[in-house]
Amino acid sequence: MSRQETPRPIRGTQDIFGAEAEAFAFVVETFERVRKLYRFRRVEMPVFEKTEVFARSLGETTDVVSKEMYSFDDRGGESLTLRPEFTAGIARAYLTDGWQQYSPLKVATHGPLFRYERPQKGRYRQFHQIDAEIIGAGEPQADVELLCMADQLLKELGIADGVTLQLNTLGDADSRDSWRVALVAYFQSCRHELSEDSQDRLERNPLRILDSKDPRDKVFVADAPRIDDYLTPEAEDFFSAVTAGLDAAGVEYTRMDKLVRGLDYYRHTAFEFITDRLGAQGTVLGGGRYDGLMESLGGAPTPAVGWAAGIERLAMLVGERDAAPLDVAIIPLGSAAELHGAGILATLRGHGICADMDFRGNMKKRMQRANNSGASVAVIIGDDELAKGVANVKDLIGGDQAEAPLVDICDHVFGLLSRQGRSIPVR
C-alpha cells in the first residue's frame, strides 16, 4: 500500500517550537506578572462570537470587517466569526454578563486571533495578542495607567530601547467629526492624484488616508488639516491631562499628529509602540480610547480604553531564548536504580528543583546528555552503589563527586546546589 500524504499546515498558521516558543512564553509570563502589579483581572474569552459583535463594533468599512474576518455559518445557520481582536468580545461580555457592577473594570487576557491577511514575517492568519482594557473609566488617568503598564512591560521584556511610543489624540466626537469634514474637503481637492486605495478610503474611511504608506498619498498627507486645529477645549484638556500623567510617571513619547487607528470606535487618545527592527511590521502594540463602542453594541454610553500587542512581534524583538536550565540529572543503571531515581525526582521536583531522568540509554549516553543539558548536579545510581544503599552525587560545575546514602540523598543535592549558589525554594 502506498504511503498516505501528510496534510500540510494552513497557510498563515505557525507551529512554534524551541527557542521561539521559549520567547513566546517569556512574553506571556512577563505580561501576566506585570498585569498583576497593575491589578488587572484575568478574563478568558470565547474564540468565536456572532459576526455582528465585530461588524457592529469595528464598523463595516474597516479593513478587518470588510476583508479580514474568518466568518462562517454554523450548522444552525448562524453567522459566526473567529475573533479578529479581543476588544469587541470583552465589550459584549461587559454588557451581557453584568460586568457593569465592577466598573471601572480593569481586565487582561491573551490568546489566538484570526485575520485573513497576506502572510509574511510578523503577519499571520492565526496570531496571538496580549490585551489590556479599562472599561467604565472616562478619566485620562485610565489612559495614563494603560500606557505606563505597556511601557513597563516593554522594559521588563528588555526591548524598550528600540521601541518608541507614538501618541496622538483624535479628540472627542465633535472634534473628530469636524476634523473629518476638513480632511474630506482637503483630500477631495487632490483626489485624482491619490492612490486608488485612498480614493476608495475617501468615501469610506477618510482618516485612514493619513495612515497610508503609498508615496503618492504621503505628499498630500504632510499638509493635511491637523487635529489640533479642531480640538474642542474639553478634548484639549483631556489630552493635556494624559501627557501630564505620562510626564509625571516618566513615560517617554513622541507626539504624532497624523497617527490614526484603523477602527472606527477610537476617540481621544490613540497610540502605537513602534520599532524599526521588524521591517514593515513595525507596530508592536497599539490602542486607544473607544468611548463610542458600547453604544454600537446596544449598551449605555460607557467610556473605555485599551491596548493589544502582537505576541509574535514582541517575541521576535526579545530574540531566541533558552529553556530554563536543568539543575539535576538522575543517571540510573538498571530498573531497580530507575525506581529509586523516580522517588528522588519526585522529591526534588516537589521542592521546586528542575530535575530530569532520561527514559532510556546506557550510562555513558545519559551522562553525555546530562552534560549537554547544562545540568549542575548529577545523581548516579549504579549497581555497586545500589548494593551499598548509596548513590554518587557529582558536581558537574566543580567536578567533585561524593557518595551519599540513598535515604538522605536529596539533602546532599540541596547542600551541593546551595554551595553552587543556587537558592532552594522550600515548600
Known binding residues: 85-87, 115, 129, 133, 261, 265-266
Among 194, 221, 284, 377, binds ligand ATP (CB under 6 A): 284
Q: Which stretch binds ligand ATP (CB under 6 A): 98-106, 124-132, 155-163, 252-260?
A: 124-132
Whose CA is closest to 233, among 178, 142, 171? 171
Among 86, 124, 220, 266, binds ligand ATP (CB under 6 A): 124
Q: Which amino acid is at 356?
A: D
The answer to whether 366 contacts ligand ATP (rule: CB under 6 A) is no
Number of residues in contact with ligand ATP under rule CB under 6 A: 19
Among 20, 22, 312, 385, binds ligand ATP (CB under 6 A): 312
Residue matched to cell numbers 539543575: 327
The answer to whether 127 contacts ligand ATP (rule: CB under 6 A) is yes
The answer to whether 197 contacts ligand ATP (rule: CB under 6 A) is no
Kindly tell me which of 79 and 120 has the beta carbon lying closer to ligand ATP.
Answer: 120
Q: Which stretch binds ligand ATP (CB under 6 A): 89-97, 123-131, 333-341, 354-362?
A: 123-131
Kindly tell me which of 315 and 379 has the beta carbon lying closer to ligand ATP.
Answer: 315
Minimum CB separation of residue 368 from ligand ATP in Å reads: 40
Minimum CB separation of residue 323 from ligand ATP in Å reads: 24
Per DSSP, the residues of 335-375 read: HHHHHHHHHHHHHHHHTT--EE--SS--HHHHHHHHHHTT-
Are 153 and 30 in contact, with CB atoms under 8 Å apart?
Answer: yes
Among 117, 139, 200, 358, binds ligand ATP (CB under 6 A): 117
The answer to whether 107 contacts ligand ATP (rule: CB under 6 A) is no
Site mask for ligand ATP (CB under 6 A), range 129-148, x = bound: x-------------------
Cα gap 225→257, rounded to integer Å? 10
The answer to whether 385 contacts ligand ATP (rule: CB under 6 A) is no
Which residues are part of a known binding site for L-histidine?
A: 85-87, 115, 129, 133, 261, 265-266
By CB under 6 A, the residues from 7 to 26 that bind ligand ATP are none
Kindly tell me which of 89 and 310 has the beta carbon lying closer to ligand ATP.
Answer: 310
The answer to whether 283 contacts ligand ATP (rule: CB under 6 A) is yes
**Angle, CA of 13, 66 and 24, to the nearest 5°:** 30
Question: Hey, which residues does 328 pair with through a beta bridge?
Answer: 355, 377
What is the chain's length? 427
The number of C-alpha atoms within 13 Å of 98 and in the hemisphere containing its C-beta is 1
- Phi and psi at 306, nearest 5°, equal -165, 175
Kindly tell me which of 94 and 290 has the beta carbon lying closer to ligand ATP.
Answer: 290
CA distances from 105 to 2, 73, 145, 351 (A): 59, 33, 13, 37
Kindly tell me which of 125 and 394 has the beta carbon lying closer to ligand ATP.
Answer: 125
The answer to whether 85 contacts ligand ATP (rule: CB under 6 A) is yes
Minimum CB separation of residue 356 from ligand ATP in Å reads: 34
Q: Which stretch binds ligand ATP (CB under 6 A): 26-34, 50-58, 154-162, 283-291?
A: 283-291
Are 326 and 413 in contact, with CB atoms under 8 Å apart?
Answer: no
Whose CA is closest to 419, among 405, 407, 402? 402
User: Nearest 10 degrees: CA dihedral of 46, 50, 51, 54?
Assistant: -60
Among 104, 111, 112, 262, binds ligand ATP (CB under 6 A): 262
CA distances from 152 to 36, 156, 269, 347 (A): 12, 6, 19, 37
The answer to whether 286 contacts ligand ATP (rule: CB under 6 A) is yes
CA distances from 145 to 105, 197, 239, 368 (A): 13, 36, 14, 50
Cα gap 261→224, rounded to integer Å? 17
The answer to whether 62 contacts ligand ATP (rule: CB under 6 A) is no
Are 86 and 129 in contact, with CB atoms under 8 Å apart?
Answer: yes
Q: Are strands 105-114 and 41-42 parallel, antiparallel or unpaired?
A: parallel
- Phi and psi at 330, nearest 5°, equal -95, 130
Q: Return the residue nearest ligand ATP (CB atom).
A: 310
The answer to whether 164 contacts ligand ATP (rule: CB under 6 A) is no
The answer to whether 313 contacts ligand ATP (rule: CB under 6 A) is yes
> Omega into 301 within 30° of 0, i.e. cis?
no
CA distances from 78 to 58, 73, 116, 400 (A): 20, 5, 20, 69
Kindly tell me which of 117 and 236 has the beta carbon lying closer to ligand ATP.
Answer: 117
Q: Which stretch binds ligand ATP (CB under 6 A): 161-169, 179-187, 223-231, 280-288?
A: 280-288
Minimum CB separation of residue 55 from ligand ATP in Å reads: 16
Binding site for ligand ATP (CB under 6 A): 85, 115, 117, 122-124, 127, 129, 262, 281, 283-286, 308-310, 312-313
